[in-house]
């Protein structure tokens, strides 16, 4: 039995402790907004927050997350900053197929929430783990810049 706290709800799940958090979220808790892309921490599609930090849930054993707060794309919109990010994503028409975008948004929100100075280099670093096969990078960057400016942390 494993205990996980996801989006402010505690769940006890009957799975082995080495099952990656990703599959607990998707297959057991039916939170399918978090995606599977590679399974080896290469693509970022599975990015969620653990205590506010972005992590790749495909390589994080569920046994290691007890006592931690997990937030997924389904609940991130409860945070005002994340709402701004989601809005910017729409304004900039970022998504194409959209499959990577949950992960992209989770990485972007963490970048914005955890830094009081953001420049292009910071965007490059924070988003380096997220692949977009539709290659929407240009628009992701503009959307993040926009939010950075609006919350006063853009320092090019």
Q: Using CB under 8 A, list all residues that contact another protein.
A: 15-16, 19-20, 23, 26-28, 30-40, 42-43, 45, 72-74, 77, 86, 89-90, 93-102, 105, 121, 123-125, 127-141
**Six-digit token pair at 22?**
């990703």
19 versus 151: smaller Cβ distance to another protein: 19
Within 28-87, which residues bind ligand FES (CB under 6 A)? 36-39, 41-46, 56, 58
Residues sharing a CB contact under 8 Å with residue 109, sequence separation 6 or more, in sequence order: 49, 76, 79, 81, 82, 85
36 versus 154: smaller Cβ distance to ligand FES: 36
Is residue 99 involved in binding ligand FES (CB under 6 A)?
A: yes
- How many alpha carbons lie under 13 Å from residue 4 in its C-beta half-sphere? 30
55 versus 140: smaller Cβ distance to another protein: 140
Q: Tell me the three state secondary structure of residue 152.
A: coil
Binds 16: which of ligand FES, another protein, none (CB < 5-8 Å by kind): another protein
Binds 149: which of ligand FES, another protein, none (CB < 5-8 Å by kind): none
Burial annotation 56-79 (CB, 10 A radius, 16+ → b, else e): bbbebebeebeebebbbbbbbeee
Is residue 134 involved in binding ligand FES (CB under 6 A)?
A: yes
Helix H or strand E segment including 56: strand 53-56
């Amino acid at each position: 039995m494993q205990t996980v706290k996801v989006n402010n709800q505690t769940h006890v799940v009957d799975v082995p402790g080495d099952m990656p958090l990703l599959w607990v979220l998707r297959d057991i808790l039916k939170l399918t907004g978090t995606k599977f892309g590679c399974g080896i921490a290469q693509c970022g599609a599975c990015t969620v927050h653990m205590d506010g930090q972005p992590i790749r849930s495909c390589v994080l054993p569920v046994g290691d997350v007890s006592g931690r707060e997990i937030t997924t794309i389904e609940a991130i919109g409860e945070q005002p900053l994340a709402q701004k990010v989601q809005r910017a994503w729409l304004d900039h028409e970022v998504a194409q197929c959209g499959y990577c975008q949950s992960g992209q948004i989770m990485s972007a929100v963490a970048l914005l929430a955890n830094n009081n100075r953001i420049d292009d280099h910071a965007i490059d670093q924070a988003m380096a783990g997220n692949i977009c096969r539709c290659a929407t990078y240009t628009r992701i960057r503009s959307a993040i810049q926009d939010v950075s400016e609006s919350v006063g942390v853009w320092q090019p």
